[in-house]
Copies of this chain bind each other. A is one copy, B any other.
């Protein structure tokens, strides 16, 4: 099931497609969704601006609007994602495929870049990714590195880890560096203890994958960071995509490349 972004969003909107979005609309950027009350929007945008690694902003909508006119004209962020999560005061209250009933005029939608963009680029460059081969979720860890706080938002940086063959480490840095709006270059290579990770086999989110003799663990800033940090502030209402069920934009991955 591939196809173009608009067709896929239409299927999603009408309930005809409800799967995770990895692999759909190849070549087009997918995005994390965060919806927050307007009172928190400046602090959260500032948090993203200060932490562009974990929080690469693709689009921020005007308060109360739900059509992302810059990245997917005609789309509706209330119904065009296959599965949403709704949180009240920091606690998950429901997962559902349509959040129109939770909408009001005082909410601000943030679309943030997603690792799928640089993972595609790594695969195209002949760099295999074990979690994809094994159909697992990527391994993610809370680190000892603090994000730059902004207003009420603060917390540890979360990273994803991918084992890379030692002969491909340099290339993996070059390839992912082209996509700063999808987490960009790794932030650490090698010893997990250096960034405060004590046990690689026990990730905080996702699934551990084996690291072989001739491989090096490479760590990228992770899109779980902004959600985790935003939730810690217990906003009265927060809506996000469900993990793996992303928003598919009309933006080409290549249009996010810096060079």
Interface residues of A (CB under 8 A from B): 41-42, 45-46, 49-50, 57, 59-60, 62, 70, 148, 150-151, 177-178, 180, 258-259
Give CA–CA (A28, B258) in the complex, Å.
Answer: 22
Task: Decide if B60 touches A49 in the complex (CB within 8 Å).
Answer: yes
Which among A41, A70, A177, A259 has the greatest number of chain B C-beta atoms within 10 A? Answer: A259
Residues in B whose Cβ lies below 8 Å from that of A151: 62
Residues of B contacting A258 in the complex (Cβ-Cβ under 8 angstroms): 177, 180, 258-259
User: What chain B residues lie within 8 Å of A57 (beta carbons)?
Assistant: 49
Among all A-B residue pairs, the 9 with the closest Cβ atoms = A42-B42, A258-B258, A45-B45, A46-B60, A49-B57, A41-B42, A177-B259, A49-B60, A180-B258
Listed by A's residue number, 6 A-B pairs whose Cβ atoms lie within 8 Å are A45-B46, A50-B60, A177-B258, A177-B259, A258-B258, A259-B259
Q: How far is the CB of A168 from chain B (nearest CB, A)?
A: 18
Q: How far is the CB of A175 from chain B (nearest CB, A)?
A: 11
In the complex, what's the smallest C-beta–C-beta distance from A190 to chain B, in angstroms?
21
- Is the CB–CB distance between B49 and A45 below 8 Å? yes
Contact A70 B177, beta carbon cutoff 8 Å? no
| Cα–Cα distance between A243 and B180 once the two chains are bound (Å) | 31
Pick the residue among B50, B59, B259 that contacts A70 (CB under 8 A): B50
